[in-house]
Structures are given as C-alpha cells and as structure tokens.
C-alpha cells in the first residue's frame, strides 16, 4: 500500500483505530442513576455522517419519561445534592473530570464517529475542553462565597438543559458542570444526531458513583426538548441551538418563574486591517470558518478585508484552502470532516444557491470529496453585499462570505448590521484600533489577532438574536444561583 503513495504530494493515511471503543446497539434513558427503557418503547437511530451508516439506537423520551427524570432530579436535589457539603460536591465533579481525561481517546473517537468532526479536533479541543470545564467548576463548588462576596448563593433547583449537535460533549460539560457546582440537579437532552458521547457520559457518571438523580440524560428530538421546557417542576432552562427554537422557548417561558439562558446563532464579522500580519491573519480566517466544518455558532463567517490588501488576502486564502484535506473524520490528517447531517448539507447547498442567484462569485477548493457521506468543499463567496442572504443568515457550514471596507467606521457599521451579536475578530498591528473595534461592536466575544480561543475561565454568550446570559467563567455561575 505504502509504495503507491507519493510522499512529496500526498499524506499517508493515518486512520484512528476504532478497535478499543464500545458502542452498544441500543441506549436507554439515564434516569435516577439507572438505564431505563422509554415508557412507549420507542427508539431512533443515530448514524455516522461520514459513511451514512447506522451506529446505534437511542430512546425517544416522551412526557412520562421526562416527568420521571424531573421527579428523580427533584428528589436528588431535595434529599442529597443541595444538602451535601459543597466540598463534597466539588469532589464528585473533579472525579468526572479525571475520568473523562482518562478515557479521552474513547470519547474523541465516538464524538467523531457520531458527529463527523475531524479526530484532530475532538481529540485536541472538544474532549480536553470538556474535561477542563469540569475541573474548573469543581474548583468553584466550595468557593461560591468568594464568587459572590457578601452574598449567599442558593441553588435554583432542577435545571433542564438542551444542547445542539456541533459540540456534543463540550456543550454537555458547559451545561452540567456549573449547574452541579452551584448545587442544582439536571436533566440534559443531547441533540438527536449526536447522542452517543452523552450516553457514554451517563455511563461514566454511573461509574463515578454520583448520587442517583443528580444527572439525568434523556434522548429525543424537539418534542422531548419542549416537554422539558414546559415541565412545571423545572426551575431553570439552559438552551444552546438555533435562534428559531430559542425564540420558541422564550415564548413558552414568558410569564413563568423559570430562569433561562439562551445561546443561539451567530454571524461573526472577521475584520482584517491593512496593517495586520497577513499570513497569521490568513491562518486565523481559515481556523475561524473551517474549524468543525463551520458548524460553530461563533464562526467568523463574514470576512471584511481592508480594500488595499483584499487581493493579496484572497489569493493567500485560496492557496491555503486548496491545501485543506477534506475527508474521513477518523484520519488524523483530516482538516474538514463530514457535515453533521443530510438536512444540514441541504441547508448549506440551498444558501449557496441563493448566493449564486443573487450574483455572488463562488470559489471552492479543488479537493476530491469521498463518495459516501455528507461532505462539502471549503467555499468562498465574494461580490456580495450586506443585504445578501449569505451575509445575513447563519449558514453553519464551511462557507465564508467576503466583503471589503475602507474606513474603521464603515467596517464597524457593517459588522453591527446583523440580527446577531455573538462574536467577532479583528487583525491589526494597532492597539488603538483593537480598542475602538472591541468597544463599538455589539458582540459577546471579540478576539484580537487570534480567533476561536476558548477557556473555561472566560465567559461566552451573545447580544441581540444570539441569545442571553453567559456561560463559562465566574459569569457562568450566575444563571444557576439565586443571590440573597
Ligand atoms: P435546533 O435548535 O432545532 O436544535 C438544538 C437542540 O434543540 C436539539 O437538542 C433539539 O432537539 C432541540 N429542540 C428542537 N426543537 C425544540 C423545541 N421546540 N423545544 C425544545 N428543544 C428543541 O437546531 P437544528 O435544527 O439541529 O439546526 C438548525 C439550524 O440551527 C442549523 O442549521 C444552524 O444554523 C442552527 N444551529 C445553531 C447552533 C448554534 O450553536 N448557534 C447549534 C445548532 C444549530
Ligand atoms: Mg450521529
């Protein structure tokens, strides 16, 4: 095999082995510390988007199952978790973090199989960051009096948490870790296309001997999610996903006493000034839009290049894009894996078509795509303006819309001309420009001369239609406590 490879121009295949991982044929619901069959006995499949092959089946929870999970969480809250000395709670969370670290390889492979992301990312980003969130919030559990000096932080009770498919385990960690640290119990619902690492986490939590009912994990689609949101005995809803569903949840919660945080979509402006370090900026742009196939709420999907350097930046971007390897998510060389689902692939194609219809110029890298599975070439769209759909709507794929600008005020106006306000990036040599941009752009997170940097100590969240509330850091404790 190896003698057929031209090492000067090609990489040797480096697939990660799946021999040592275990995926069961079927997963039931994790309620009260045990795996229980769903009341109506319904299951649905989850598949590998890179191969279009079934991986396993998970339960479809209905209202009775959700009710059982809420009751288990309530009992665990009243009898155990809220009464436990905070230091002891911290030890449990720390144990989850340690066990995740020990099994990171298994989690990384399953994450890539179920969701399509490159193993390099699940191995180096998703799983280590998930563990880091548990470590970080384990540290806060017995220090809440320092987080909120002079005030007493009381837990809220039972939290219902609904997460998307783009960072399955990481989103589970973002939700569960701060909730537990503050003394709440939880019901988590993973997304329907990526439930497997959440079910593995359920197994890990069982082994970690967490008191039954403190964490309950129920699978299902939107209907199951809405059962959680509307359950009368939930005290807090934490949601990450589309803006459309976020708005539905907000309406459903209006007038109730339930607290909520919403982490929704984004359409980040990524701004390159003519005094920037161009080669580094090009790397930042590539990382900003092609990381995780562009399935990233904070992706730098609107590029603004200062006019004088536009030609150079676009030419370098094309060269860099042509070198990206699109293919098998389990291959360690792969830069861009599979699109998460057929539905998402269709959505990307539909938006690209609209970009073309509206007069945009499309450039795609020349890479070959695998025959099976859902894949999409890295794509640039230029000759577009603010009113184009590809500039206004979240594409959630490896697609970058490019515009130019002349002055700083012009680019600030363009960057803010969006219903979203989650993140943004700026590349320049001048600190003064960075301060002006970061102060005037309405976005929860701004990166300067870098992009997509995450840390559990740093708060994350949006303005406008990107949602409300912050996750991560000290700020991430607020949504899970009542301060008295
Ligand atoms: P979605 O918002 O429908 O799904 C996210 C989660 O919410 C899933 O667990 C889903 O089961 C649940 N859900 C769906 N309907 C619900 C309801 N009525 N009540 C409670 N929970 C509900 O996102 P979807 O359909 O998977 O993706 C559609 C588009 O949304 C994507 O193309 C992308 O543009 C955007 N999206 C954005 C994300 C972000 O982080 N910004 C994450 C996921 C999707
Ligand atoms: Mg799947």
* Residues whose CB falls within 8 Å of the CB of residue 95, separated by 6 or more in sequence, listed in order: 208
What's the rounded Cα separation, in Å, for the pair 397 and 296? 8
Architecture of the domain defined by 26-264+466-483 = 3-Layer(aba) Sandwich (3.40)
What's the rounded Cα separation, in Å, for the pair 94 and 89? 9
Instruction: Pick the residue whose CA is nearest to atom 13 on ligand 1.
Output: 222
- Under CATH, what is the fold of the domain 269-448? Aldehyde Dehydrogenase; Chain A, domain 2 (3.40.309)
Residue of 245, 250, 258 to mutate, ligand 1, most atoms within 8 A of C-beta: 245
Question: 425: which DSSP letter?
Answer: E
C-alpha 462 to ligand 1 mean position (Å): 16
Instruction: Pick the residue whose CA is nearest to atom 43 on ligand 1.
Output: 241
Q: Which pTM value belongs to this model?
A: 0.97
Q: Which residues surround ligand 2, an ion (CB under 5 A)?
A: 46, 114, 193
Q: Which regions of the chain carry the CATH code 3.40.605.10? A: 26-264+466-483
C-alpha 271 to ligand 2 mean position (Å): 34
Residue of 234, 242, 258 to mutate, ligand 1, most atoms within 8 A of C-beta: 242
Question: Helices in 15-126 by DSSP H: which ranges?
Answer: 63-76, 86-102, 104-115, 119-121
**Could you give the residue numbers annotated as active site?**
263, 297
pLDDT at 6: 58
422 Cα nearest atom in ligand 1: 41
Residue of 164, 197, 221 to mutate, ligand 1, most atoms within 8 A of C-beta: 164
Q: Which regions of the chain carry the CATH code 3.40.309.10? A: 269-448
Instruction: From 33, 36, 44, 45, select the one nearest 64 (Cα to Cα).
Output: 36
C-alpha 427 to ligand 2 mean position (Å): 36
Q: What is the pLDDT along the chain (484 residues), one digit of tens a residue?
A: 445 555 556 778 999 999 999 999 999 999 999 999 999 999 999 999 999 999 999 999 999 999 999 999 999 999 999 999 999 999 999 999 999 999 999 999 999 999 999 999 999 999 999 999 999 999 999 999 999 999 999 999 999 999 999 999 999 999 999 999 999 999 999 999 999 999 999 999 999 999 999 999 999 999 999 999 999 999 999 999 999 999 999 999 999 999 999 999 999 999 999 999 999 999 999 999 999 999 999 999 999 999 999 999 999 999 999 999 999 999 999 999 999 999 999 999 999 999 999 999 999 998 999 999 999 999 999 999 999 999 999 999 999 999 999 999 999 999 999 999 999 999 999 999 999 999 999 999 999 999 999 999 999 999 999 999 999 999 999 999 999 9
Instruction: Pick the residue whose CA is nearest to atom 22 on ligand 1.
Output: 222
Across 173-229, the runs of DSSP E, i.e. the strands, are: 185-189, 215-217
Phi, psi of 469 (to 5 degrees): 90, 160
pLDDT at 1: 44
Measured from the alpha carbon of residue 265, the closest ligand is 1
pLDDT at 9: 63
C-alpha 46 to ligand 2 mean position (Å): 4
**Angle between helix 431-440 and helix 408-416 axes, rounded to 10 deg:** 30
| Beta-carbon count within 10 A of 308 CB | 11
Residue of 225, 241, 465, 466 to mutate, ligand 1, most atoms within 8 A of C-beta: 241
What's the pLDDT tens digit per position in 30-41? 999 999 999 999
Q: List, chain by chain if needed, residues with CB within 6 Å of any ligand 1 atom.
A: 162-166, 189, 191-192, 221-222, 225-226, 229, 240-242, 245, 248-249, 264-266, 297, 344, 347, 394, 396
Task: Give me the DSSP letters along 40-55.
Answer: T--EEEEEETTTTEEE
341 Cα nearest atom in ligand 1: 26
Measured from the alpha carbon of residue 465, the closest ligand is 1
Instruction: From 400, 446, 394, select the one nearest 420 (Cα to Cα).
Output: 394
C-alpha 191 to ligand 1 mean position (Å): 8
* Residues whose CB falls within 8 Å of the CB of residue 68, separated by 6 or more in sequence, listed in order: 31, 32, 36, 39
Element holding 129 (H helix, E strand): helix 127-140
228 Cα nearest atom in ligand 1: 20
Measured from the alpha carbon of residue 351, the closest ligand is 1
C-alpha 212 to ligand 1 mean position (Å): 29
189 Cα nearest atom in ligand 1: 9
The percent of residues in the chain predicted with pLDDT above 70, rounded, is: 98
C-alpha 239 to ligand 1 mean position (Å): 9
Q: Number of helices (H) and strands (E) in the chain: give both, helices first.
A: 16, 20
Instruction: Pick the residue whose CA is nearest to atom 25 on ligand 1.
Output: 242
What's the rounded Cα separation, in Å, for the pair 89 and 81? 7
What's the rounded Cα separation, in Å, for the pair 51 and 372? 6
What's the rounded Cα separation, in Å, for the pair 306 and 372? 40
């Amino acid at each position: 095999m190896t003698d057929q490879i031209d090492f000067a121009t090609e990489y040797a295949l480096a697939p990660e082995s799946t021999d040592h991982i275990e995926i069961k044929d079927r997963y039931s619901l994790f309620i009260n510390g045990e795996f229980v069959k769903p009341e109506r006995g319904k299951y649905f499949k989850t598949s590998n988007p890179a191969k279009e092959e079934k991986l396993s089946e998970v339960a479809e929870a209905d209202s009775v199952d959700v009710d059982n999970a809420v009751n288990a969480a309530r009992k665990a809250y009243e009898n155990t978790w809220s009464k436990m000395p905070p230091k002891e709670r911290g030890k449990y969370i720390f144990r989850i973090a340690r066990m995740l670290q020990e099994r990171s390889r298994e989690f990384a492979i399953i994450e890539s199989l179920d969701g399509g992301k490159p193993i390099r990312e699940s191995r180096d980003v998703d799983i280590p960051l998930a563990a880091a969130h548990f470590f970080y919030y384990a540290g806060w559990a017995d220090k809440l009096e320092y987080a909120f000096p002079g005030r007493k932080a009381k837990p809220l009770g039972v939290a219902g948490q609904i997460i998307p498919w783009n960072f399955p385990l990481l989103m589970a960690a973002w939700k569960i870790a701060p909730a537990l640290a503050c003394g709440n119990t939880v019901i988590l619902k993973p997304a329907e296309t990526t439930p497997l690492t959440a079910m593995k986490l359920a197994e890990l939590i069982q082994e970690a001997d967490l008191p039954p009912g403190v964490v309950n994990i129920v699978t299902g689609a939107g209907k199951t999610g809405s059962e959680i949101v509307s359950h009368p005995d939930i005290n807090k809803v934490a949601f990450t996903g589309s803006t459309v569903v976020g708005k539905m949840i907000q309406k459903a919660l209006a007038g109730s006493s339930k607290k909520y945080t919403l982490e929704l979509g984004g359409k980040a402006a990524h701004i390159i000034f003519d005094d920037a370090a161009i080669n580094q900026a090009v790397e930042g742009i590539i990382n900003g839009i092609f990381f995780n196939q562009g399935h990233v709420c904070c992706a730098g999907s609107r590029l603004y290049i200062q006019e004088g350097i536009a030609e150079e930046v676009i030419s370098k971007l094309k060269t860099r894009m042509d070198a990206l390897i699109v293919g098998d998510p389990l291959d360690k060389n792969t830069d861009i894996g599979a699109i998460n689902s057929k539905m998402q692939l269709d959505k990307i194609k539909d938006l690209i078509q609209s970009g073309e219809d509206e007069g945009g110029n499309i450039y795609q890298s020349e890479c070959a795509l695998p025959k099976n599975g859902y894949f999409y070439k890295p794509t640039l769209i230029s000759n577009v303006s603010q009113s184009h759909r590809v500039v206004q709507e979240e594409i959630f794929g490896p697609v970058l819309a490019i515009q130019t600008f002349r002055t700083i005020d012009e680019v600030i106006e363009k960057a803010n001309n969006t219903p979203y306000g989650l993140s943004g990036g700026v590349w320049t040599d001048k600190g003064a420009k960075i301060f002006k941009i970061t102060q005037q752009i309405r976005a929860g997170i701004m990166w300067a001369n870098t992009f997509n940097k995450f840390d559990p100590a740093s708060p994350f969240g949006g303005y406008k239609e990107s949602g409300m509330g912050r996750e991560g850091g000290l700020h991430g404790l607020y949504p899970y406590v009542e301060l008295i």
